[in-house]
Amino acid sequence: MRAKASATLAIVVATLVAIAAVGCRDERVGEAEARRAPTVTVAGEERLPSWTPPRIEVTRENAQALAEQADEALMGGRFADDDAASLPLFMALRDYAPMRARADAGVRNSIDGLLLQARQQLGQIDEEPDALARVRHAAAVLRVVALERDDVQRFLQQVDRVEDGQRFSELGEAALARGEVGETGGEGALAWFRRALALRGSDTRARQGLAAAESALIRRAEDAADREDYADAERWLSLAARVRPEAGAVAEARGRIAFARATRIGELRDAGIAALVQPRDGIEQARGHLAHILRIAPPADPTATELRRRIEFAVHYGLFVPRQRFTDALKGGGRTPTMVVIPYGDFTMGAPRGEHGASDAERPTRAIHFERGLAFSMTEVTVGQFRRFVDATKYRARSSRRGYSMVYDLRSGNFVRRGNVDWRHDYLGRPAADDLPVVHVSAKDASAYAEWLADETGHRYRLPSEAEFEYALRAGSRAPYPWGTGTPPPGTGNLTGSGDRSPTGRRWQNAFRGYIDGAWGPAPVGRYTPGRFGLHDMAGNVSEWVADCWHTNYRRAPRDQRAWVNPGCRQRVVRGGSWASAPEQTRSAWRSGLDADTTNARIGFRVVRDL
């Protein structure tokens, strides 16, 4: 910068050469009278100190040396730095007559150089920390030595504006230190910084002040977020966004706060889910975490919806969800039958008046409410699954101890008693495949299998109650059949259809008109389309034992889903149609009572598990 100023001032060289030949006088020049200029002020406050030229004594002996020193300082751009600068030296030399002309030219050139240099430094005050101090010094000098010049007055006005801006920035910084940001108007920091920028739009100090004010508002937002007051945080961010709309600081802060908020919400969700497995007060703890989420989460936040859903599921399903499939491990190895979680809800149990094929045993109807979901085995228990139970426990089923069971006779089309038939045999008395539903089992055999599962898994496995069976069979339908009315859709299940044929060519005398399922006798489990709850063969394949004792009607029956059991009852309830049942016996409300020791080729069972 100084080299540039020196180049600009090279025009003074010719004048200096011309004056150099002027002789010197013997007379001693009196000391130049100190000139005192008024102090520069802005709005009544002292802004710039007065400048007094240094006292330099000029004599005949030193005049030439001082003139040469002044020329060198002028060429070096050192105009008013100290008593060795060009301006004070030339001003002193003006009082020495032999040097007056040369000194007057030097003073003019020094003023021109100082003004040029000061203007350059004024443009650098935002980049160079020391530039403003040099400008202030130059302005103080110029006010003393050249106040009458128009260009100097214009420069001093510029300096005044800079000084005003500096004062406004100082006031803004002081307000900011007191916490008076002024975000809602008034004489806070923001107002002062904006006044400074109105004077000079490039004012770096004022711009930095605005950024500091913005940061203060952002800090308030972050403090509010730390208190989990996100509404207040957003209020502060909105105010901060008005300070420097073009900057990205608020957007970044909003992103940080949103991330921290989402993280906190996620922590609460995880804590709520973890609480659900606690045996005591887990649901209440989870609800507390949900309430916390609802206080701090944005409207319609999916995390709150998720946890609310998990809590609802925990209340009604434990750790499961509706229609979930699962198995439990057995202590002795292997797995339980595949279980399906059915939803909780309400239904009307029994057959309404006027339903074709219904009997008084299916009435009076009653409303049943399920407070919790329930897991049903997806299919009837198979021969292979029952075999694992027998092998593990050496259990002897009723048909094995008795030595016979009821099988289907292909020649007569009737059910007959046959010896040496037990659970290992099919409907004809032949060895059964492992994927067939186990038959030739009594109600007590079925209960023994369920109790074994409970012992092996630590969970409550049991036979379903009548209410549970009918609820799962209907799966939301109020019609006579699970599928509605009339002929079942193709693939519904192993039912009696007019299109079915026995191995000997026999047809059903009472069957669903136009239906064919391709089976005569029990079919492998899971072959046909499941119902709406995901369970197979609820209305067909084999009828199934349930936990209830037989009662001739529903008068005085439990008003909930519990099994209706009398101590020592000898008759148990059978539910669901079979491969050999008449259409009326396939209705959802159909029920029958049999001796608990009954075994035949039409009855099997499935299990349920409490959640």
Q: Verify that 456 and 605 share a domain, yes or no.
A: yes
Q: Report yes or no on 576 lying in a domain.
A: yes
CA distance 303 to 265: 7
Q: Report yes or no on 197 lying in a domain.
A: yes
Q: Which stretch of 12-26, 47-61, 146-160, 420-434 has the lowest confidence by average pLDDT? A: 12-26
Q: Verify that 119 and 171 share a domain, yes or no.
A: no
The mean per-residue pLDDT over the stretch 88-107 comes to: 96
Q: Which stretch of 127-141, 380-394, 420-434, 594-608 has the lowest confidence by average pLDDT? A: 127-141
Please check the confidence at residue 22 and state whether its pLDDT lies above 90: no
How many domains does the chain fold into? 4
Which band of pLDDT confidence, cut at 50, 70 and 90, is reported for residue 318?
A: confident
What is the reported pLDDT for 49? 66
Q: Verify that 491 and 361 share a domain, yes or no.
A: yes
The secondary structure of 400-469, three-state, reads HHHCEEEEECCCCCCEEEEECCCCCECCCCCECCCCCECCCCCHHHHHHHHHHHHHHHCCCEECCCHHHH
| Final residue in a domain of this structure, among 88, 112, 147 | 147
Please check the confidence at residue 1 and state whether its pLDDT lies above 90: no
What single DSSP character describes residue 40? E
Which band of pLDDT confidence, cut at 50, 70 and 90, is reported for residue 47?
A: low
Q: Report yes or no on 19 lying in a domain.
A: yes
> Of 61, 85, 60, 64, nearest to 20 (Cα)?
64
Contact predicate 349/478, CB 8 Å = no
The mean per-residue pLDDT over the stretch 446-467 comes to: 98
Q: Which long-range contacts link 171-180 to residues 24+ away (Cβ below 8 Å)? A: 172/196, 172/206, 172/209, 172/213, 173/209, 173/212, 176/209, 176/212, 176/213, 176/216, 179/216
The mean per-residue pLDDT over the stretch 177-192 comes to: 92
Please check the confidence at residue 15 and state whether its pLDDT lies above 90: no
Q: Verify that 46 and 175 share a domain, yes or no.
A: no
Which band of pLDDT confidence, cut at 50, 70 and 90, is reported for residue 4?
A: very low
| Final residue in a domain of this structure, among 119, 147, 175 | 147
The mean per-residue pLDDT over the stretch 270-280 comes to: 91
Q: Verify that 273 and 218 share a domain, yes or no.
A: no
What is the reported pLDDT for 186? 79
Q: Report yes or no on 392 lying in a domain.
A: no
What are the distances in angstroms from CA 316 to CA 284, 288, 370, 553?
14, 18, 9, 30
The pLDDT tens digits for 464-522 are: 999 999 999 999 999 999 999 999 999 999 999 999 999 999 999 999 999 999 999 99
| Final residue in a domain of this structure, among 147, 176, 211 | 147
Please check the confidence at residue 29 and state whether its pLDDT lies above 90: no
Q: Kindly report the CATH number assigned to the domain that includes residue 582.
A: 3.90.1580.10
Q: Verify that 96 and 238 share a domain, yes or no.
A: no
Q: Report yes or no on 506 lying in a domain.
A: yes
Q: Verify that 88 and 120 share a domain, yes or no.
A: yes
What residues contact residue 14 under an 8 Å CB cut-off, 6+ apart? none
Please check the confidence at residue 236 and state whether its pLDDT lies above 80: yes
Q: Verify that 467 and 601 share a domain, yes or no.
A: yes
Which band of pLDDT confidence, cut at 50, 70 and 90, is reported for residue 175?
A: very high
Q: Report yes or no on 390 lying in a domain.
A: no
Q: Verify that 460 and 519 share a domain, yes or no.
A: yes
The mean per-residue pLDDT over the stretch 391-396 comes to: 98
Q: Kindly report the CATH number assigned to the domain that includes residue 196.
A: 1.25.40
The residues pairing with 457 across neighbouring beta strands, listed in sequence order, are none
Please check the confidence at residue 18 and state whether its pLDDT lies above 90: no
Q: Verify that 344 and 489 share a domain, yes or no.
A: yes
Phi, psi (deg, nearest 5) at residue 374: -150, 150
Which band of pLDDT confidence, cut at 50, 70 and 90, is reported for residue 33?
A: very low
What is the reported pLDDT for 342? 97
Q: Identify the residue whose tokens are 């957003």.
A: 234
CA distance 116 to 137: 14
Q: Verify that 101 and 178 share a domain, yes or no.
A: no
Q: Verify that 452 and 565 share a domain, yes or no.
A: yes
What is the reported pLDDT for 48? 56
Helix (H, G, I), strand (E, B) or coil at 151: helix
Q: Report yes or no on 103 lying in a domain.
A: yes
> Of 300, 222, 316, 238, nearest to 265 (Cα)?
300
Instruction: Residue 88: give the domain boundaries.
Output: 2-147
Q: Report yes or no on 397 lying in a domain.
A: no
The mean per-residue pLDDT over the stretch 262-286 comes to: 93
Helix (H, G, I), strand (E, B) or coil at 572: strand
The mean per-residue pLDDT over the stretch 325-351 comes to: 97
Which band of pLDDT confidence, cut at 50, 70 and 90, is reported for residue 39?
A: very low
